[in-house]
Each structure stands twice: as C-alpha cells, then as structure tokens.
Amino acid sequence: MKREINIALFCVFLALAWTGCAKRDRPPVREVVVYASVDQVFSEPILRDFEKETGIKVRAVFDTEEAKSTGVMNRLIAEKGNPQADVFWANEPIRAEVLKQKGIADIYRSPQAEAIPEIYRDPEGYWTGFSARARVLVVNKQIQDPPTTIHAYTDPKWKGQGLIANPLFGTTTVHIAALFSKWGDEKAMAFMASMKTNAVGVSTSNGESADFVASGRYAFSLVDSDDAVSRMRQGKSIEMVYPDQGPDEPGCLIVPNAVVLIKGARHPDNARKLIDYLLSPETERKLAFADCAQIPLHSGVEIPKEMKALEAIKVMRIDYARVAETLQAIQPYLKEWVGL
Amino acid sequence: MSSIRFQSVHKILGDRQVLQDLSLEVGPGERVAILGPSGCGKTTLLRLAAGLIAPDQGRIEINGIPVAEDGRNLIEPEDRQVGMVFQDLALWPHLTVSGNLAFGLKVKGTPKQERLSRIHEMLQLVHMESRAHARPAQLSGGEQQRVALARALVLQPKILVMDEPLSSLDEDLRAELRSEILKWHREIGFTLLYVTHDRGEASTMGQRILTMKNGSIQ
Amino acid sequence: MTKRIVLSLAVGFLFLAGLLPLLLLLIQSVSEEGRLTFDAYRDLLFTKNQWILLGRSLVLAGLCALVSTVTGTTLGLILGKTDLPWRRTFTVLYALPLFVPPYIMAVSWFHILGREGLVRGLLGPTVAAVTSDWLLGLPGCVWILSSIFSPLVMLLTLAFIRGIPPRLEEAGRIVASWTGVLRHVTIPMILPAVMLSALLVFILTLGEFGVPHFLRYHVFPVEFFTQFAAFYDFRAATVMAMPLIGLTLMALAFERLCLRKKTYIIQSIGHGQRRLVIPLNRSRRVGILILVGTLSFMWTVLPLLTLLFESLSSSAYPRAWTLAGHSLMRSLVYSAIAATVLTMLGLLTGYLVHDRSFRFWMFLDSIILFLFALPGSVLGIGLILLWNRPVTQAVYASPMILLLGLVAKYAALTHRISVSTLEQIPASMEEAACMAGARWLRRFRQILIPLARPGLIVAWLTAFIFCMRDTELAMLVYPPGCDTLPVRTFTLMANGSSDLIAALCMIMVLGTLIPLGLLSLAMKGCWGGHVEYPISIRP
C-alpha cells in the first residue's frame, strides 16, 4: 500500500512539474518568440534587458555559427507552414535574404531604422541591419611588415602563411560571395585558384583561425572583427588590420546583424517592439562593448577604444541581395574548392 | 457426465508432435495418475486441460462444456476454474503465504471476512497456519509444497491438475505429502489429474493409471 | 482482449513517436513537388567524397568498437571475477563518463592536451603541439570515445558474468587452473554478450556527432549536420542519413542472424549461491591494481578534475547558474517524465516481445533497436516534419515533442532491460495467476510488475541518464524558451569563456550524478531488494 502511495505522489510531482512548464508555454499576451543565430553569450543579455524593460517575456531558440548545429535557419524553413518564431535575429544579412526569397520574411520598416545607412537595409523592408562586424585581417604581432590587403593570400611572399576559415560556412562564404559579385566569376575564380597554389590553410571556423594565428602557426587570416577583438582582450599576441583601405582599393567588407519579422508571426506587435529595441542605438552600444565588439551603424554611438567607428573605415560597397544570389550560385564551386 | 474429456487431441510444439490423437475421459471426483518418461507429453496434457495452451486439433470438454476446439481456446484458463500445482510450484515471491492464497480470492471478489476465514481454514488443513506471514523464500521445500497445494485448493476447484509436485522432495516427505493429498481429496472431493514419472507414486495417487508414450496413451 | 488493447496502444505510441516521422522523411526525400525522384540520391551518393567520409566513419567506429571491447571486457572480468580491492569504487569511476554528454569529455581533453592545455604547462609547447595534433584527429576521437564506451562493455560484461551459474565454473576448476577456466568456460560463455556490446559500441560511434565535431575530425555524421547548417537542404540531409540508416540496419541484421541465437539467457542467481571469485596473489594484485587505477585516473579522474580546476574562478559558477539554472531544472523534469514513460512503454513492448503476443514481435524488436541506433538529429528532423502543423501545435510548441523524441530514441534501453528482466521471471508465475482466475491486466499489475521491479528500477535510471545527456535530438526540437542543459551548454560554448563552459560542464556532471545517486539510494531503501525465486526448476 505504501508503495502505491509513493508511486502516486511521484506521478503527482511529475504532473505538477509538467504543468508548471506548460503554464509558461500557454501563450500569455505578453511574449515574443525569437530565433537567434547570434552567439548566445552575446544575444541573451540583450534579450534579458528587453524583458526587463518591457515586461514582454522572450522565448528564444539559440544557435551558433561556430557550432554549425542544425540550426534555427532549418527550423525556420521547416516551420514555414506553421511558423513558431516571431523574430529572427541573424548574424549576417544573407540568411535574412534567403528567408525573404523563400517567402518566410515579412515587411517591417522600423522607425529606429531610419538613421541606419540605406545599404544595410533591405530596400523592400524585409530585413534591417544593425551592429556590424568587419571582415578584418588578424596578424601575429611577431610578423614584420604585416599584410594590408586580402591579396596577400595570393602573394608568393606569404606562401603557406595565410589561413582562411572553411568558405562553405558563415561569414567566410559571404565574403567570397561578395568578391564574386564585385569582381565577376572569372577574376574571383582566378583569385581562389591562386590562393590554392599559394598553399593557403583552411580552418574550421574564424575563431580557430584567430587562435592559429595567435599561436604563430600561420601569419595572418581573414576573420570577423569580433574574433579578433575577443582574442586581443584575452591578451593574445595578435593585431587587427582593416584590409584594402588604400585609395584604389575596394575597402573592408562589413557584415551587419540582420533582424527579420517572420511572416505569420503569432505575436506581431511584440515582435515589432523587439525589432525596434534591437535596432536602437542603445543596443548597438551594448553590442560594441560586449566581447563581440560589433560596430554600431548609427553614427555617434559610443565605442570602445580598440575599435574603429564605421565612419573611419573604408567600406566595400556591395548589394546584399546580389551577394545572396551569388552565394547560392557558387556553392558547388566552393564545395569543389574545399575538396568536398 | 465426465469431468474432463479429450477427444482425439493433437498438439505440435515447435517442430515436435507432442500429442497424437489423444483421447481421455476422467469422471467427477476420480483420481487419475499419468505416468510416463520425460518428454512423453504429460505436462502438455495438463497445460491443455488448464487452458495454458490450445490443441491444434481435437476437442476438450470440462464438465460437459467444450472449452477448446481445433486450435483455439473457447474458454480462457482464468475462467475454467481448474486448479493447478506447477512443477516449480510458482509461488509468488513478492507475496507472503497468506498473500499467495488471498490473490485468487481477491480476483473472485470474495468479501474480506470470508476470505480471511477461508485462508485460515486452508492453512490449518495444510498445517501452515504458523507461517502465514512468511515469504516463500523463507520456507523449506516441504512447506512450499504445502503452500502451493493450499493456494490451488483455497479456490475450491472442481478439478485439480498436478505436475510432478513432489519431484524435488526427499522420500519421507513425499510419502507424507502423498497421504495428505489423498486425505484432502477425500475431504474436498475434487477431480485429480496427477502427473508423475514414478511408478510407485502413480499407483498410490491414481485410482486409475494411464501410461503415456510418444504422445498418446498406451 | 485488454492485453491486446494495451499492447496495441504501446505499439501505436511508438509508431507515432518514432516510425511515422521516419517514414515521412523517407517520402520527402524521394518526392519533389509530387513527383517521384531519386535526384537527391544520385547527386549525393555518387560523389567520391561521401565514400571517403563513410570510410572514415567506419574506421572510427571499428577502432572504437575494438578498443572498447577489449578494454571493457578485460575490466569487466577483473572487476567482476577477481578479489581486487575497491572493485565497487572502480566500477563507479569507470562508469562516470558514460553518464555525461560525450562532448563534455572532449572539452575536458582539449583543456588537457590542447595547445594551450595542461600539457603545455607541464611539458612545454613542443609537446603540446604534438598532443594537440594527436587529439584533433582520429587518435583523439578513438581515445575519448573509447573512454566513454568501454564502461558500457564493462557493465554488460559484469551483468553477464553474474549470470554464469557457479557450478559450471566449479566443474571447470576441478580439471583446470583459473586461466583455463576463464579461457574455456567463462569467456566463451560471455562471448556472445561481448560481441553484442562491440556491435552496440560500433553503432553508437557511427552516429556520434559531438566528439568528432568538437575535435574537428570530419566524419559522416558531421557532414550530415553540415548539410543542414550550410545548405538548409532537408532532402539532401535525409539522403545523407541513408548510408547511416543502411549501415545501422546491416549491423542489426548481423546481430539478428549471428548473435541472437547464441546469446545465453542471463539467469539470476539467488543469494544462496555465491559467485566464484578468482583469488589474486600479492604481486598480481598490486600489478593489476596499478593498471586499473592508472586507467581509471586517466579516463575519469583526470578529465573531471581538469574541468573542476578550469571552472574554479570567482564568477564562473554564479554566472553559469544564472545562465543555466532553469535549464538544469527543465532537464531534470523532462528526463524524469521521459524515463517514467519509457519504463512503462519498455515494460509493455518488452512483454510483447517476451510473450510474442503479436506475430510481428521480431519486427517490433528490430524497429526499437533501430530507432536507438539512428542519429538523434535524423529523428529530430522527422519529428519536426510530422508535428509542425497548425493542428498539432499543442504538441509541437510544448515539451511534448521532446518527450516523443526521447521516448522513440531511448525505448530500446528500457525495452531490452525489460525483456531480459522478464526472461528471468519463470513463465509459471503468470500462469499460476491465470489459474487463480486473474485477467491479464491484474496479472500484469500485481504479479509481473512487482516481480520485475528491480529490473524496472534499473530501466528507469538508465533511461533517466540517457535522457539527461541527450544533446542532438533536444537541440533540434526543444520548444522556444525550453532548452535543456546539454543544449544550453553546447550553444554557450560558442565564444563563451572557458571557465564558464567548464562550470556549465561541471553543473551538467553533478546535475546528473547527484539526483542519480540519491534516487538509487532511495529506491534501494524503500523499493529495492532482489526477488528470490524459492525454487528455480525450469521445464
């Protein structure tokens, strides 16, 4: 008999625990569901602040570029017919473009977006960029006369000393696609081919690239500015070079975060509030001071001293929509290049 | 009307023909001993009577009612009111002696007072009233045997089938229990099907001895 | 009748949770806008690289199976048959790595052997460069996965050794020395079990994603994940899953054809019968103690200590707790619920297979094993495909979907434990209840469940551990705001500081072990105990 009571108590406990969770799942009016492909360590504090300030509960699904986990992007696409997310916070605009092309994004022109330069916004209003990373060269401090251009990759002087993250993933893909759309296929393919003959190393991620350069295995690598800044703050022996800043050179690629309103969102009003919040100068300031060290797109936002303001960087002019198209087109080529 | 009746029953287990065209009739209150070497189909015969398996061909009747026919049971074992004592006794180790006896009575929905008095009576009959709260593992072999018999008898079955219930005991105890079983049979008056491979035991227990060989009665 | 209904419900539940999602996945992979097409298969399967990756996966799985089987069996024999001191402690120590998500062990080893790791401080950067290269590749994968899966073989070996009737070994001892008895009696008796566990390790390694991914060793499951992450291509990913599915099926068929018939049934031995123990002489005892001690230090103590050491900073634990406290609670609750459902379901399907109640019992048995062997992410995608519809929103947007996934994936554990538990219960137990007039439900509840209780407790604990450590499936299907601890740790690993990650890993380890320890103590106290069958003669 005692045993039956034990079992019954146990079941009651489980049931209570379950309803405890389920209660939180029952949609109260004030909540918003966000899928974030930005590293959780950086995105979660911002979302918590939003919760505190507005009282709107944020339920998030996180994913990381680094982990290349199966990803919120797949979830978004899979859930197209029955969307769960209200907002997608992407770590680069190309994913946002893909969502737009697949009919998963909805139009929202945030009042906060007006001060953000037009090139970082979708002209039709499907996505809006904010807080950007720059694609920079990270260079080991021991290196004399460090490279200042991405053409160092094909320069025999640097043979075997350049490193690049796997171009099938993340911002590296975006970068290569940007070069293809800027230069045209022929020149870009020639560049890629001579990179190969110049014995460039391929790492699995930008973070790993930065670590390899810091440890002296390679002289330099193209990485995201946040990878460089975080290692510099840890006191590693590297410095950051914004490439191609000369008068005849194309400039440095800027990769903003992008925020998207999901079509058929269950909490559209709260979603818009969250988007406004993310696009605010205050959020950009926080992301600049966080370890991800992202460059504000609003002018006049305070930034830490090791970073350059957007105005001080010569920026590569690209059309993100075209880059998104190019990106899909060059996938087979990239696969072949990597040797897959 | 006969108590148990087998009409040309066939049974195959695995790829072996265990029973072949077996017919058998046992009268009410009769004691029948079934004798034969191991593997001759004695146990299968009992399990068919109990309903734990169904005959492939043929027909089985209990008290004139068909209970199994041509490959399927018409009446499931739990509804046949046949008592069985297993070769390994099959006492439930998680229940006490009285718990083992109470189980079947509870299933039948016997009121608590009646249940307790019947268990008490039955334990007295098998001289086990002092061990009512012991677990089977705490009992000796002979005591376990008695409990197994009591558990079968407490339900007052019209038919009791026993599968070599005394095989694991020493000779003195066997003799004692044999005479006890005969005594209970006189007192209660059930029909008894008793399987053994021991000729002496068969002649004591059976008013009639059937010898089985290769799946049929000789 | 009740029996058929209850068992059908159990089968139906399993079908819904596991099989239907996979069928949907399969259909999706060969249809494009309503047409039947095999393009995706042609594109992906006929590239050379896939075969290279598959080859690597096979090599990795083969090596891990070999190393784990040899080490695990040896450990099992030493800990289960000799009078080595502290056997229990060693058994627990070795088993620990099995209880935590594999990638946590990889994180820890990275702290030890990596370029910036412990080795650098002790032996200098040159050695660290060598060990780091060694870690980030096949040897590292084999080393870590073996440290995780050897305990599995060890535990199975221990269980099977326990099932050898002492009289068989005694009979051997009369004519031969212990070496001879081991060689000619004990080992041949457990050989089928050893083969079985080798196969299990092979299958588990084949589908393992976390460790090779963390160590940057490119194998098939990693590529499978990549297909999703880089190309958002459901169809391609499904097709990529097919070789894994195929290999798994082949391994299972092998088991069915070659091993199943030879597996001796484990019989419980009552308290009266003592297991035979090999007495070790002094020098052997010391030698073996040193070997066993060193290996357990390397495989368990060192990695866990490293994690602990890494995590000891003033802010790491408070931060980790704020970030992941809720996730830990969720993990515990979900795992407890899933383990309870799994135990009940496993008992029912176990009964079905044991009793052969339905003609398709063998098929069911294979399906359950297959679901276990299948990489969690494949099942996850299938579940999304199936449940993400407006009608089934209640399931999809709640932890229910995770529960379904966990149940489908880990049913094999409770199922198999139930089958072997039921095999130890003499058929006459249920038959006697039947003769007493009890119908199936009552027999099941009042006779079989109490008799199977020790096995059910083991089943519950096993299911709990595996649900706690699940990463791949949970990562894919957790509802927004309801992530579990392994998922949260995994996503926080990207650019999180190393002390924070180490602290999260420690919380994960303790969060599994403490409740587990408490539960097993409590269950032993109030529910436990062996069921002893007074006489065990079996016709």
Assigned token pair, A275: 């988007």
Indicate whether B107 belongs to any domain: yes
Interface contact B140, partner C, CB < 8 A: no
Q: Which residues of C touch B79 (CB under 8 A)?
A: 437
CA distances from C164 to A157, C179, C193, C269, C537 (A): 70, 16, 12, 8, 16
What pLDDT digit, counting tens, does each position of C349-365 carry?
999 988 887 878 888 88
Assigned token pair, B10: 């066939």
Inspect the interface and report whether the beta carbons of B90 and C431 lie closer than 8 Å. Answer: yes
User: Residue A218, class by beta-carbon neighbours within 10 Å (0-12 exposed, 13-18 middle, 19+ buried)?
Assistant: buried
Give kind and range of the element (H or E) at residue C524: helix C498-526
* Contact of C382 with C24, CB cutoff 8 Å: yes
* Residue with token string 């123990």: C277
CA A36 to chain centre: 10
Inspect the interface and report whether the beta carbons of C437 and B78 lie closer than 8 Å. Answer: yes
Which three-class secondary structure state does DSSP give residue B62? strand
Which three-class secondary structure state does DSSP give residue A262? strand
The closest alpha carbon to A36, from A240, A274, A233, A254, belongs to A274
Q: What is the pLDDT of residue C94?
A: 92
Give kind and range of the element (H or E) at residue C367: helix C361-373
* Mutation target vs B (from C535, C536, C537; most B CBs, 10 A cutoff): C535
Identify which has the larger pLDDT, A33 or B126.
Answer: A33
Q: Whole-angstrom Cα distance, residue B56 to residue C47? A: 57
C526/chain A closest Cα distance in angstroms = 8
Q: Out of C41-45, C203-207, C479-483, which region has the weakest mean confidence (pLDDT)?
A: C41-45
Containing structural domain, residue B135: 93-155
| C475 closest CB neighbour out of A57, A69, A211 | A69
| A62 closest CB neighbour out of C230, C476, C491 | C491
A264/chain C closest Cα distance in angstroms = 12
**Half-sphere exposure of residue A253: CA atoms within 13 angstroms, side-chain side:** 27
Task: Tell whether the model's pLDDT for residue C164 goes beyond 90.
Answer: no
* Mutation target vs A (from C28, C217, C228; most A CBs, 10 A cutoff): C228
* Residue with token string 């680069």: A92
Q: Which residues of C touch B197 (CB under 8 A)?
A: none
Q: How many other β-carbons are positioned within 10 Å of the β-carbon of residue C522?
A: 12
Q: Whole-angstrom Cα distance, residue C155 to residue C150? A: 9
Q: What is the pLDDT of residue C272?
A: 44
Count of CB pairs separated by less than 8 Å, A with C: 151
| C437 closest CB neighbour out of B87, B107, B136 | B107
Q: Out of A185-194, B24-33, C43-52, C447-456, which region has the weakest mean confidence (pLDDT)?
A: C43-52
Identify which has the larger pLDDT, C476 or C539.
Answer: C476
Q: What is the mean pLDDT of residues C88-114?
A: 87
B77/chain C closest Cα distance in angstroms = 6
Most confidently modeled of C157-161, C436-440, C493-497? C436-440
Provide the domain count of chain B: 1
CA B106 to chain centre: 20
Task: Tell whether the model's pLDDT for residue A79 goes beyond 90.
Answer: no
Inspect the interface and report whether the beta carbons of C493 and A67 lie closer than 8 Å. Answer: yes
3-state secondary structure B161-173: EEECCCCCCCHHH
* Contact of C410 with C341, CB cutoff 8 Å: no
C334/chain A closest Cα distance in angstroms = 8
Q: How many other β-carbons are positioned within 10 Å of the β-carbon of residue C356?
A: 10
Q: State what percent of residues in chain C have pLDDT above 70.
A: 89
Inspect the interface and report whether the beta carbons of B141 and C535 lie closer than 8 Å. Answer: yes
Q: Which residues of A touch C384 (CB under 8 A)?
A: 75, 78-79
Question: Strand pairing of A31-36 and A87-90?
Answer: parallel
Indicate whether B114 belongs to any domain: yes
Q: Which residues of C touch A40 (CB under 8 A)?
A: 488, 491-492, 494, 496
Q: Which residues of C touch B92 (CB under 8 A)?
A: 429, 432-433, 447, 451
What pLDDT digit, counting tens, does each position of C294-304 carry?
999 999 999 99
| C494 closest CB neighbour out of A20, A58, A67 | A67
Q: What is the pLDDT of residue A23?
A: 45
Assigned token pair, B3: 């108590």
Task: Tell whether the model's pLDDT for residue C103 goes beyond 50.
Answer: yes
Indicate whether B81 belongs to any domain: no
Q: How many other β-carbons are positioned within 10 Å of the β-carbon of residue A272?
A: 18
Q: What is the pLDDT of residue C535?
A: 43
Contacts of C378 (CB under 8 A, 6+ apart): C22, C25, C224, C238, C241, C244, C245
Inspect the interface and report whether the beta carbons of C451 and B92 lie closer than 8 Å. Answer: yes
The closest alpha carbon to B52, from B147, B177, B161, belongs to B161
Q: Whole-angstrom Cα distance, residue B33 to residue B217? A: 12
Q: What is the mean pLDDT of residues A304-329?
A: 87
Would you tell me which residues 103-162 of chain C have a C-beta closer than 8 angstroms to some C-beta of chain A? Answer: 115-116
Inspect the interface and report whether the beta carbons of A67 and C491 lie closer than 8 Å. Answer: yes
Identify which has the larger pLDDT, C254 or B61.
Answer: B61
Per-residue confidence band for A235, with pLDDT thresholds at 50, 70 and 90: confident
Q: What is the mean pLDDT of residues C131-136?
A: 87
B2/chain C closest Cα distance in angstroms = 21
A209/chain C closest Cα distance in angstroms = 13
Inspect the interface and report whether the beta carbons of C396 and A84 lie closer than 8 Å. Answer: yes
What pLDDT digit, counting tens, does each position of C218-227 carry?
888 777 766 6
What pLDDT digit, counting tens, does each position of B26-53 carry?
999 899 999 988 878 888 999 999 999 9
Indicate whether B67 belongs to any domain: no
What pLDDT digit, counting tens, does each position of C325-335 carry?
899 999 999 99
* Contact of C75 with C155, CB cutoff 8 Å: no
Per-residue confidence band for A65, with pLDDT thresholds at 50, 70 and 90: low
Task: Tell whether the model's pLDDT for residue C526 goes beyond 50.
Answer: no
Task: Tell whether the model's pLDDT for residue C248 goes beyond 80.
Answer: no
Task: Tell whether the model's pLDDT for residue A99 goes beyond 50.
Answer: yes
Q: Out of A34-38, C135-139, C172-176, which region has the weakest mean confidence (pLDDT)?
A: C172-176
Most confidently modeled of B82-91, C15-24, C66-75? C66-75
The closest alpha carbon to A259, from A69, A37, A78, belongs to A37
Q: What is the pLDDT of residue A67?
A: 47
Mean of all residue pLDDT scores within chain B: 89
Q: What is the pLDDT of residue C378?
A: 79
Interface contact B102, partner C, CB < 8 A: no
Indicate whether B172 belongs to any domain: no
Q: What is the mean pLDDT of residues C380-389?
A: 85
Inspect the interface and report whether the beta carbons of A71 and C490 lie closer than 8 Å. Answer: no
Per-residue confidence band for C51, with pLDDT thresholds at 50, 70 and 90: confident
Identify which has the larger pLDDT, C515 or B53.
Answer: B53
Q: State what percent of residues in chain C have pLDDT above 90.
A: 26
Interface contact C24, partner A, CB < 8 A: no
CA distances from A229 to A151, A165, A203 (A): 23, 17, 19
Q: Do chains C and A touch (3 or more CB pairs under 8 A)?
A: yes
A67/chain C closest Cα distance in angstroms = 6
Per-residue confidence band for A1, with pLDDT thresholds at 50, 70 and 90: very low
Q: Whole-angstrom Cα distance, residue A109 to residue A127? A: 8
* Mutation target vs B (from C4, C267, C268, C435; most B CBs, 10 A cutoff): C435
Q: Which residues of A touch C482 (CB under 8 A)?
A: 21, 25, 59
Per-residue confidence band for A46, with pLDDT thresholds at 50, 70 and 90: very high
Mean of all residue pLDDT scores within chain A: 86
Indicate whether B193 belongs to any domain: no
Indicate whether B37 belongs to any domain: no
* Mutation target vs C (from A3, A19, A21; most C CBs, 10 A cutoff): A21
* Contact of C189 with C81, CB cutoff 8 Å: no
Per-residue confidence band for A71, with pLDDT thresholds at 50, 70 and 90: low
Q: Which residues of B touch C537 (CB under 8 A)?
A: 87-88, 168
Q: Please name each of the domains of chain A with its CATH number.
A: 28-131+257-307 (3.40.190.10), 134-253+326-338 (3.40.190.10)
Q: Whole-angstrom Cα distance, residue C13 to residue C6? A: 11
Task: Tell whether the model's pLDDT for residue C459 goes beyond 80.
Answer: yes
Q: What is the pLDDT of residue C234?
A: 67
Task: Tell whether the model's pLDDT for residue C531 goes beyond 80.
Answer: no
Inspect the interface and report whether the beta carbons of C435 and B82 lie closer than 8 Å. Answer: yes
Inspect the interface and report whether the beta carbons of A70 and C475 lie closer than 8 Å. Answer: yes
Inspect the interface and report whether the beta carbons of A70 and C393 lie closer than 8 Å. Answer: no
Identify which has the larger pLDDT, C538 or C420.
Answer: C420
What pLDDT digit, counting tens, does each position of C250-270 carry?
877 877 776 665 554 445 444
Mean of all residue pLDDT scores within chain C: 83
CA distances from A27 to A42, C180, C228, C235 (A): 26, 69, 30, 33
Q: Whole-angstrom Cα distance, residue B211 to residue A257? A: 91
Q: Whole-angstrom Cα distance, residue A330 to residue A336? A: 10
Q: What is the pLDDT of residue C168?
A: 80
Q: What is the pLDDT of residue C259?
A: 60
Interface contact B1, partner C, CB < 8 A: no
Interface contact B90, partner C, CB < 8 A: yes
| A neighbour chains, 3+ CB pairs within 8 Å | C
* Contact of C225 with C189, CB cutoff 8 Å: no
Q: Which residues of C touch A78 (CB under 8 A)?
A: 234, 381, 384-385, 388
Indicate whether B207 belongs to any domain: no
Q: What is the pLDDT of residue C209?
A: 80
* Mutation target vs C (from B94, B122, B163; most C CBs, 10 A cutoff): B94
Q: What is the mean pLDDT of residues A292-313?
A: 87
Q: What is the pLDDT of residue A69?
A: 41
Residue of A nearest to C320 (CA): A41
Most confidently modeled of A40-44, A267-271, C15-19? A267-271
Q: Do chains A and B touch (3 or more CB pairs under 8 A)?
A: no
| C neighbour chains, 3+ CB pairs within 8 Å | A, B
Identify which has the larger pLDDT, C33 or A85.
Answer: A85
Per-residue confidence band for C530, with pLDDT thresholds at 50, 70 and 90: very low
